[in-house]
Amino acid sequence: MNWLLLTIASAVTGAIARILQKVLLKNKDSDLFAFSFIFQMVVAAIFLIYAVLTRSVELPNLTGLGFNIFIMALFYGLGNVFTFKAFKVAEASEVAVIFASSSVWSVLAALVMLSEKLTTKSVFGIMLVVLGIASINLSRHAWRVNKGHLYALLGAILFGIAFTNDAYIIGRYTSIPSYMVLAFTLPAFISLLASPQSIKNIPQYTSGSILMKLSLCTFFYAISSITIFAAYKAGGPASIISPIQQTSIIFTVVLGYLFLNERDNVLKKIIGTVLTFLGVLLLI
């Protein structure tokens, strides 16, 4: 499949997963570290089952990539915790717009790690993405930044750099599902190590209707993850794939409006979404 279509598929399924994450975390007593662990382990299990069924299990030579593996585990582990914190205390549509800045960090990281080039058009695209993110917090009198927005920005920085780092590592793999098992299992344990006492709260996400919602969420997230890396393997540049994938903010804002009743500051959200999307188009 064409890398552009794979990237768009990743954007759509990623937006659905974010909405389901917001639903799962709406309970004020939710344990973010326990959720992060079980979420990533379930996604890893999905990829492992897929790899076994398709006979694509692979153990490549990762010699010399120890530091990259460490960065992958640490950045995704902490990035997931910050992102889940953001969804817990802020609206899904606001988190989605701010999280779009991950494309900026991916582009910058790609300049260093993958020796990709940054054009004048790309610079303007990055500026528009930043303006789009800023407009979501703009009021008549002052900036209003809450903890949820800061968590989303931290998550975006970590995920953006981690994606480019992934693009570097995945060159050693033929089987994408095999790499995804590693890319979700290691960060899961990093999340749990950050709060070992959260182990006792893991069972709350493995029963009843919560398990059903978690299964749907991880299923769509797994599709989003495998399609974006398939896009890179199909020839798409990391510095271009990541910004295009951030068009998922449009779907997230729409779904948040329709299903989560997130209808405050609609005009600002529209402005932020349009500016961010225009920036993404310049980065294509």
pLDDT of 158 over the 90 cut: yes
Model pLDDT for residues 75-108, shown as the tens digit of each residue: 999 998 898 888 777 777 677 777 777 877 887 8
pLDDT of 138 over the 80 cut: no
pLDDT of 227 over the 60 cut: yes
Phi/psi for 54 (5° steps) reads: -95, 5
Contact 81, 33 (CB under 8 A): yes
Please give the pLDDT value at position 107.
Answer: 76
pLDDT of 181 over the 90 cut: yes
| Gap between the Cα atoms of 5 and 178, Å rounded | 22
The percent of residues above 70 in pLDDT, for the chain, comes to 87
Please give the pLDDT value at position 194.
Answer: 83
pLDDT-derived band at 25 (thresholds 50, 70, 90) equals confident
In the structure encoding, which two tokens stand for residue 195, read together?
């709060």
Contact 24, 206 (CB under 8 A): no
Q: What is the pTM of this model?
A: 0.74
CA 77-81-86 angle, to 5 degrees, is: 145
Query: Residue 280's closest CA among 124, 93, 165, 152?
Result: 124
Question: Look-up: residue for tokens 């979501």?
Answer: 136
Stretch 48-55: mean pLDDT, rounded? 92
Please give the pLDDT value at position 140.
Answer: 44
| Gap between the Cα atoms of 130 and 18, Å rounded | 21
Running DSSP on this structure, what letter comes out for residue 233? H
Query: Residue 36's closest CA among 214, 242, 252, 262?
Result: 214
> Which is more confident, 242 or 54?
54
Please give the pLDDT value at position 141.
Answer: 43
Contact 182, 43 (CB under 8 A): no
Burial degree of 59 (CB within 10 A; 0-12, 13-18, 19+): exposed
Model pLDDT for residues 52-64, shown as the tens digit of each residue: 998 999 988 888 8
| Gap between the Cα atoms of 45 and 55, Å rounded | 15
Stretch 105-121: mean pLDDT, rounded? 77
Running DSSP on this structure, what letter comes out for residue 142? S
Strand partners, 138: 143
End-to-end CA, the chain: 18
Contact 100, 129 (CB under 8 A): yes
Burial degree of 107 (CB within 10 A; 0-12, 13-18, 19+): buried
| Cα–Cα distances in angstroms (integers) from residue 199 to residues 28, 193, 205, 220, in the given order | 18, 10, 11, 25
pLDDT of 139 over the 60 cut: no
Please give the pLDDT value at position 62.
Answer: 85
pLDDT of 252 over the 70 cut: yes
Q: Where are the alpha helices (DSSP H) in the chain?
A: 3-24, 32-53, 66-89, 92-99, 102-113, 120-135, 147-169, 176-193, 208-233, 238-245, 248-259, 266-283
